[in-house]
Structure formats: structure tokens, C-alpha cells
Chain A
Amino acid sequence: MDILYGWMMYGLSLLTVGGIYGIIVLGLNLQWGITGLFNIGIAGFFAVGAYSTAILTSPATENHVGGFELPVAIGLLGSMFFSGIMAFIIGKICLRLRGDYLAIATIGLAEILRLILKNEVWLTSGPRGIPGIPRPFEELGQPWAEIAFLLIVLTILFIIYLALQRAIHSPWGRVMRAIRENEKAAASTGKDVDGLRLEAFVIGSIFMGLGGALLSHSMKFVGPSASDPLVTTFLAWVMLTIGGSGNNKGAVIGAFIIWTVWSASELLSGVLSFKWMNQLSYFRVFLIGFILQIILQKKPEGIIPEKVYQHK
């Protein structure tokens, strides 16, 4: 019975984090899949969200600013607000860059943000991180608290999915895809290309920030590793590529698949002896990179390719 219970808790956490990544990848799909903005600074927006909610909701402390003990809902809204503001400022400056150059600029900003989180101890308590972040419905006790949190995540994921589905199939979504395919042509029909690119960038980044915030609440802790480009930026890109760029359903499915592979390899490391445990945790990075190569080369459109609507 204990083993079964353990597996159930493992499954709950798998679905929760998978769902959180689903939200992030939906944001990335809006930016890259639909509008064609190459953002590899996901970790930056993710970390802003994660730290915003941590500072807003954690108990008061001497170690850093705040600990304002606000309700979780305020924390989530706050993290969306701050990541949105940051995306607006960054977008205003960097979105005039295209392709590779935008990629370099976004990853540069994310790296600088990583330095800030590590060095500005008054704000983030530095390498020690912020513990004691509350998780909603914790008073229900195991396993009901976990189930409740999973339901919250899945509800948010579902709402964002529906909203994006509608948005993408609206005239707004068609303009976004037009911008992705041919910016000049879109501009020639009188569309405000710069404004729309900024919209997609800000909305997508808000979802990334929300994802970071939800993960903070799920882990009840946030540290500088939140801004590690590996576990957020890279995983999100692999998830979107595998699921099918340009397709919301693919984005969510890709998120669950890759998160399962990622955390299942962690499970495997528990079986191995201590000596090999460390090695394995690096090997799984290699494994994910390898999967990405195979998908890029053999099935670049992903598991669920984008549907292209054509007038008959």
C-alpha cells in the first residue's frame, strides 16, 4: 500500500510540474510558434515571476526585502504584473532586433538577471534563496493538498489554453501568423507590426512569469537555480519543438512528455548507487539534447504539426 501511495504522490507532482511547464510552453508558443519571436531568455521571465510571488507571499524576514505574507492569489497576480512590465521594457528595446540577434539579446538579459538574483542579497537573499513560500490549501494535509494544488494548476492551464485557442483563430491570431510569415506584407496591409509583436512578447512572458510563480508555490522554495537557463529555457524549447511549434495542443502535450522523461530519469537515478547518481543527472541533459536532435532532424514539425487553414 505504501508503495502505491508513493507512486500516487509521484504522479501528482509529475502532473503538477508538467502542467506548470504547459503554461510556460503555451507562452513560448505564442511568442515563437505563432508570432515568430525567438526568445531564449525564458529563464529570466520565469525567475522574475518566481521571486515576485516569493517576496509577496512568504513570511516576514530579516534576510531580504519583504516577506509581505500576502495571499497566494495576490502573489500570482503580482508575478504576472512584474514579468509583464519587464517584458514590456525589454520588448520596447530589443524587439526591433530579428532572429539570431533577438536570441542573443534575450539570453543576454536572462544571464544578467541571473547575476542580479545571485548578487543582490537585500532583494533575493542571494544564494540562500527564499524558503517558506506558502502553498494554497496546505491545511488539507497529504494527499489532498497536493490534489488541490494540481487542480488549481490544471484549471489555470485549461483557461489559458482555451483563451489562446480562441485568440489564435481570431483575426488577431491571423495577423500574428502573417507577421511570422512575412512582416513586410503584414505591415503593407496597415497592421501595426511593432505593436503586435510587443503584445505577443508581453503576453507570452506573463505566462512564463506565472509558471515560475506556480513552481515557487509548488516547491515552497525559490533559489538562484530558478534562473538556470538549462531547466527552464532549454526544456521549454525542447517541449515546444517536440510537441509541434505553432500548435497549442502540441505545446501542452510536449510539456507533459518531456517533463515525464526528465523526471523519470531522476527516478532511475534513485535506483543506482550514489557514485553514479551525479553522473546520471548530467546524462539526462545529454539525453534531452539528443531527443531534440532527433526531432529536429527527423520530424521538425513535431508530434502534432500546426494546422494550416486554407481557403477552398
Chain B
Amino acid sequence: MTELFTYYLFPGLILGSIYALGAIGVSLLFGILRFAHFAHGDLMTFGAYVAFSMVTLFNISPYMAIPASIVGGIGISILIDKVCYRPFRQSKTIVLVISSLGVSLMLRSIIQIFWGVDYEVYFSGIQPSIDVAEDFRIKIHHIWIMLGSFSLIFLTHLFLKNTKLGKAMRAMSDDSELALITGIHTERVITATWIIGGSLAAVAGIFLGIDTQLSPSMGWDQLLPLFAAAILGGIGRPYGAIAGAMIIGVAEELSSYPGFLGENAPLLSPAYKTGVAFFIMVVMLIFKPTGLFRGRQF
């Protein structure tokens, strides 16, 4: 039982909290700009590599590099929006999807040019861990990742709940026509969405890099779980995205737990973890496209 918790359930929650940081952005952007942002994973990669530069240049811990990475993430998000998405505000949303696919590859090629294609790590050596109970060890990094994610999610929650801009964002992602009648400043809301989405994605990238390693395709590989989480929670529902992300993260890790069948064979080879996210997503899209928390459907 402790094995289940130590190696599957807890890492699943860690993975889920990393997904949550990305999925909130995907969900809000889908709700407000009405398109599936295919470059979101690569925003994560970008954030991770900005932090990597800080780590190697100033010899600091990646946690100390979070502010710089957030600034970088916000900057690149707003730049991309201005150059590549803003001209298509009045076009069919599918044009935005094509454009974001292009942006995703451009972003990845920039990362490959500047940082190379090799796998990189923030720290080398064995990651320290502490004993919580007998047979139950937790990596110290996992504690930090969880605390970091939860506090960022909480900050986002405070912003969405209490500020005027946050309320406008939720209104727009809930029903943009209705929101426009009330005189909401569209472009300001969109910029705010990119600021939140871009900074959360950057931090998600750093945490993913701490938990595993850095590579130019690290973010792209998370795209399916991100979309799955956003769809599972309901498009345009940031809180739904958090719940969806946790479910996807735990489901992915549990899929390779060998204890279920009683014969020490995992349900699914760990190589196919992403398939779990995809399976949940397709089932959801077909049977309940509005998600668990009654999101929007376009």
C-alpha cells in the first residue's frame, strides 16, 4: 500500500499540480479567445529554459529563477499575441489554431537554436528526500513543487475572485457576448489572460524541469494532458481545469501501477501514460463535451 502511495499516487498529484498550472491558461484562453492554444506547451518549455539560463549564469537554484522566468513568460506571451494572434481576432477561430501550431514550432526552433537540443538538468546527483513514515519517502523537491503550485493557484483564485479584471475575465470566458454588453474592455481582458496564462505556464515548465529534465520538446509532450485537463474540467472553467489536471495526473501514474491485477503486471506500459489522458479526453468530448463543471462548448 505504501508503494502505491509513494511511487504512484503522490507523484500523480505532483504531476497533476504541474498540469494544473498549464491547464488553467489553456482553459481561460479557450474560453476567452475561443481557440485551442497549441503553443501552450512550448510556453512551458520557454519558461523552463529561461530559468535554466539563470541557473547556469548566476549559479542559483531554479526556485530563485522563478521571477525571471515569469517575466520572460509574460513577455513572450504578449509578444506572440500581438504579432501572431491579434490580427486574427475577427477571423474564423480555426485560423488561430493553425497560427498557434506555427507559433509552437517557431518557439521550439528558437529554443533549439539558443539552448541546443541536448537533455539538461537543473541539478545533478540524487535528489534528496525525507522519511515521512515507515516506507514512505517524499522527495524534497516534490514538497516545494506542490507548495509552489498550490500557492500560485491560490493567488490566481484570489485574482479571479476579487479584482474587477478577474471578474471581467471570468465573465468573458463564461459568455463573451453577454460580457461585451456590460462594457468590458476586451483587449485589456485578453492581455490579462496572457499574463496569467504565460506566467503559470513558465512556472509549470520550471517545475516539470525540476521533476524530470529539460528538452526542447518537454512542453509539447504535455499538450495532450493539458487539453485533457481543460476539457475534463470544462472549457473556460479555471477551477474545473485544476480538478481535471489532478484527475489526469493521478490517472496517468496509476495506469502503470502493477498491483491492480495482482500479478505484478502494470495495466499499461509507462511509455503509454499520455494515452490515458487522451482516452479520458476523447470519452469526455464524445459523451460530455461540457466537462465535469459544465464549461462551454464551441
Q: Name the CB-closest residue of A to B289.
A: A101
- For window 55-89 of chain A, which residues contact chain B by CB distance below 8 Å? none
Bound CA–CA A99/B289 (angstroms): 13
Q: Which of A145-153, A217-225, A283-291 contacts B (4 or more CB under 8 A)?
A: A283-291
Bound CA–CA A40/B95 (angstroms): 13
Q: Does A293 reach chain B (CB closer than 8 Å)?
A: yes
Q: Looking at the complex, which one of B36, B91, B286, B298 makes contact with A96 (CB distance below 8 Å)?
A: B286
- For window 31-64 of chain A, which residues contact chain B by CB distance below 8 Å? 38, 40
Q: Does B1 reach chain A (CB closer than 8 Å)?
A: no
Question: Do B286 and A282 touch across chains, with their CB atoms under 8 A apart?
Answer: no
- For window 22-79 of chain B, which residues contact chain A by CB distance below 8 Å? 30, 35-36, 38
With A115-B271, A119-B269, A119-B272 known as contacts, the answer to whether A300 contacts B95 (CB < 8 A) is yes
Q: Does A296 reach chain B (CB closer than 8 Å)?
A: yes
Question: Do A282 and B109 touch across chains, with their CB atoms under 8 A apart?
Answer: yes
Interface string of A218-244 (1 = CB under 8 A from B): 000000000000100010011001000
A-chain residues with CB within 8 Å of residue B4 when the two chains form the complex: none
Q: Tell me how many residue pairs across A and B have CB atoms closer than 8 Å.
A: 104
Bound CA–CA A282/B113 (angstroms): 6
A-chain residues with CB within 8 Å of residue B224 when the two chains form the complex: 108, 111
Task: Report the contact-size class of chain A (Cβ under 8 Å from the partner).
Answer: 35 or more
With A112-B272, A115-B271, A115-B274 known as contacts, the answer to whether A104 contacts B281 (CB < 8 A) is yes
Q: Does A103 reach chain B (CB closer than 8 Å)?
A: yes
With A111-B224, A290-B106 known as contacts, the answer to whether A99 contacts B278 (CB < 8 A) is no
Bound CA–CA A241/B87 (angstroms): 17
B-chain residues with CB within 8 Å of residue A103 when the two chains form the complex: 36, 94, 97
B-chain residues with CB within 8 Å of residue A283 when the two chains form the complex: 109, 113
A-chain residues with CB within 8 Å of residue B98 when the two chains form the complex: 237, 241, 292, 296
Bound CA–CA A285/B281 (angstroms): 30
Question: Do A296 and B95 touch across chains, with their CB atoms under 8 A apart?
Answer: yes
Q: Does B282 reach chain A (CB closer than 8 Å)?
A: yes
B-chain residues with CB within 8 Å of residue A285 when the two chains form the complex: 105-106, 108-109
Bound CA–CA A279/B110 (angstroms): 9
- For window 103-161 of chain A, which residues contact chain B by CB distance below 8 Å? 103-105, 107-109, 111-112, 115, 118-119
B-chain residues with CB within 8 Å of residue A112 when the two chains form the complex: 272, 274-275, 278
A-chain residues with CB within 8 Å of residue B274 when the two chains form the complex: 111-112, 115
| B144 → A minimal CB distance (Å) | 30
Q: Which of A94, A96, A103 has the most CB of B within 10 A?
A: A103
Question: Do A289 and B105 touch across chains, with their CB atoms under 8 A apart?
Answer: yes
Q: List B residues at the A interface (Cβ < 8 Å).
A: 30, 35-36, 38, 83-84, 87-88, 91, 93-95, 97-99, 101-103, 105-106, 108-110, 112-113, 117, 223-224, 227, 231, 269, 271-272, 274-275, 278, 281-282, 285-286, 289, 298
A–B Cβ pairs within 8 angstroms, 24 of them = A40-B101, A93-B282, A97-B286, A100-B97, A100-B298, A101-B285, A104-B227, A105-B282, A105-B285, A108-B282, A111-B224, A115-B275, A119-B269, A119-B271, A119-B272, A234-B101, A234-B105, A237-B101, A279-B113, A286-B106, A289-B102, A289-B106, A293-B83, A293-B102
Given pairs A115-B274, A282-B109, 6 additional interface contacts (CB within 8 A): A104-B36, A237-B101, A278-B117, A279-B113, A286-B105, A286-B113
Q: Which 5 A-B pairs have the closest CB atoms?
A: A289-B106, A285-B109, A282-B112, A100-B36, A282-B109
